[in-house]
Copies of this chain bind each other. A is one copy, B any other.
């Protein structure tokens, strides 16, 4: 049972394929450029076929010999590490936090802007697939940057919501974050549904995001009250 990669490695006749481009496409590239190209293709490739997909199939997808990959990356593990940095960590933008805290805009507007950007930049098919493959730990390459970044986003959202609605928050940090996770989880799961399960495609993204945000904003005070109450119990 090979991974999905066998869909790729186009069946048979490697000799003919080789003979059909005898001295044509041999586009020799500068190292930096070539490495960037390999990395870009690799992130697409592993997102599609999983972290266990083979270097041979990747090389084929890049139109180069398998050996060339090892000129630019010492091992497959090292390549995966760079894929992780480039395709998982890099999409997060620091500006988002600043904009979320910009109280000159109404809170719900800020939320909409944020999740619009977040959905487009982070919650892509490629990002989700790589992140899930990594989390399922075919290789434990995912450190906890990501969780740390997301938690900071959650804290910001919850604090801003409380400020906007003049609501008192529970004192416990974890409980506070769980309030934020309600919205963030709903949106993340929407993206998973859409990009992985190929579902929820009939209604426009913007409408669904607006729906989720509206529910969160409306239910926020009730959540905070419930959280404070159960905090008293403990």
Interface residues of A, Cβ cutoff 8 Å to B = 1-4, 50-52, 76-77, 80, 129, 132-133, 135-139, 147, 172, 174-175, 177-179, 181-190, 192-193, 196-197, 199-200, 202-203, 207-208, 210-212, 214-223, 226-227, 230
Chain B residues positioned under 8 Å from A182 (CB to CB):
186, 211-212, 215
Q: How far does the Cβ of A149 sit from chain B's closest Cβ, in whole Å?
A: 13
Tell me the number of copies of this protein.
Answer: 2
| 24 CB < 8 A contacts A-B | A1-B80, A1-B139, A2-B52, A175-B207, A177-B200, A178-B207, A179-B211, A181-B190, A181-B193, A182-B186, A182-B211, A182-B215, A183-B186, A185-B190, A186-B186, A189-B189, A189-B192, A210-B226, A210-B230, A214-B223, A215-B222, A218-B218, A218-B219, A218-B222
Q: Which B residues are in CB contact (< 8 Å) with A230?
A: 207, 210
A200 and B214: CB pair below 8 A? no
B178 and A203: CB pair below 8 A?
yes
Across-interface contacts of A80 in B (CB, < 8 A): 1
Cβ–Cβ contact B197 & A226, under 8 A: no
Residue of B nearest to A179 (CB): B211
